[in-house]
Amino acid sequence: MGLILGLFATVVGARWLDRHKVIEIHARMPENGGWTPADLSVKVGQPLRLRLVSDDVTHGFAVGQTAWEALDLYPGKPVETTLIFDRPGKYVFYCTRWCGINHWRMRGVIEVYGDASTMQNSDTTTPESPLYRRLAIDLDAPHDAFVIPESQPIARKNIALNVRLPAKYLLRDYYLATAPSSAWQSLREEPSLASLSDQQIWHLVASLWRRQTSQNELKEGEKLYRTNCAACHGETGAGDGVMARWLAASAATEAPDAEHSQPSNQHTPGETVIIGHSTVVPTDFTNPHTMLGASPALLQGKIIRGGMGTGMPYWGPIFTEEQTWALVAYLWTFQFDYSQVETNE
């Protein structure tokens, strides 16, 4: 009798412990190990209890593709959280506070497994492949604009122009797949717009681009840009962020003719930094030559896939599709003046 009771208590106790066990995850700078452990698995619907401890500097914790708020992890202040996944799949959890040049490498995986019926369910709702793939855009091909404006195009100037446009220019699909310089050329060839100057056509392009976004989306894009992109691409978009000096230094040391040149960074000699192979200087979003030759689908593709061998992280498992489009919309503000646009949203 006692044996049966004891067995019963053990089984119940083990199940209770399993459901209530807390997994302690340590966060360290990526050079010192990143997340430990970095692989977790949990069943659909079962609570995943985590205790997050930072061992060195300020880190953050968030799970990609979800709406959960990011948690800040300060050294000496462990944070506990409970996650419940309602859909199976591979989720990426990542650091949200810049903790060095390799900050973006600080990622881990949570594998959520479920029974066959939910699996089946998720298979039917698999998101389609990203737009750049459907459009067969080569993300690594140069995309120089063949024409650039004399001065920054202003979206609000279009109100005064008062022109009638063929409907195709207003379509979302047209915007997504077209580079501004191509749009400029198509508009230039429209007979109804022959009276406009080249710069006025550019204002028109800017206002078409502005039509495809909203004040809220731009705000969301700015927030994402500031927290995730500005450290390298710069707060003004000029590619001169605080991390760029490390990337520039590594690019300089790897160029064959620059072996003896002094790296322009500030870190002390003897300090070794692992950045990866052949990084390049971050893209300057204020440069019209490259930006106006890129379509929104191309920019989104670069964000999702990352730059092959450039040091640009891949954000596909982190950002939702809406977030990537918000970012792309915000990137155009480095080219187009969207101020004082009257919106009827």
Under the binding rule (CB under 8 A), the answer on residue 62 touching another protein is no
Under the binding rule (CB under 8 A), the answer on residue 75 touching another protein is yes
Under the binding rule (CB under 8 A), the answer on residue 270 touching another protein is no
Residues 6 or more apart in contact with residue 173 via CB below 8 angstroms: none
**Phi and psi angles of residue 156, each rounded to the nearest 5 degrees, phi first:** -75, -15
Q: How far is the CB of 226 from another protein (least distance, A)?
A: 5
Under the binding rule (CB under 8 A), the answer on residue 98 touching another protein is yes
- Residue 49 is inside which H or E element, if any? strand 48-54
Q: Give the one residue of 2, 76, 127, 256 binding another protein; rule: CB under 8 A.
A: 76
Q: How far is the CB of 101 from another protein (least distance, A)?
A: 7
Q: Contact at 8 Å (CB) between 126 and 111?
A: no
Q: How far is the CB of 37 from another protein (least distance, A)?
A: 23
Under the binding rule (CB under 8 A), the answer on residue 337 touching another protein is no
Instruction: With CA atoms as reference, report the closest residue to 238 among 185, 299, 290, 285.
Output: 285
The angle, 0 to 180 degrees and rounded to 10, between the axes of the packed helices 198-211 and 180-188 is 130
Stretch that binds another protein, among 71-79, 106-114, 119-127, 154-162 (CB under 8 A): 71-79
Under the binding rule (CB under 8 A), the answer on residue 56 touching another protein is yes
Type of residue numbered 159: I
User: From residue 230 to residue 249, what is the string marking binding to another protein with x (rule CB under 8 A)?
Assistant: xxx--x-----xxx-x----
- How far CA 176 is from CA of 52, 104, 186, 319, in Å, comes to 40, 27, 15, 18
Number of residues in contact with another protein under rule CB under 8 A: 25
User: From residue 139 to residue 168, what is the string marking binding to another protein with x (rule CB under 8 A)?
Assistant: ------------------------------
Q: Contact at 8 Å (CB) between 27 and 75?
A: no
**What is the Cα Rg of the chain in Å?**
25
- 23: helix, coil or strand? strand
Q: Contact at 8 Å (CB) between 95 and 32?
A: no
Cβ closer to another protein: 143 or 233?
233
Under the binding rule (CB under 8 A), the answer on residue 100 touching another protein is yes
How far, in Å, CA of 139 to CA of 145, rounded? 15
Cβ closer to another protein: 29 or 139?
29
Q: Give the one residue of 58, 122, 286, 290 binding another protein; rule: CB under 8 A.
A: 58
Stretch that binds another protein, among 39-47, 82-90, 160-168, 222-230 (CB under 8 A): 222-230
Q: How far is the CB of 27 from another protein (least distance, A)?
A: 12
Q: Exposure string (b/e) for 34-55, b if CB count within 10 Å is 16 or more? A: bbeeeebebebeeebbbebbbe
Cβ closer to another protein: 29 or 205?
29
Site residues for another protein per CB under 8 A: 29, 56-58, 74-76, 97-101, 103, 226-227, 229-232, 235, 241-243, 245, 266
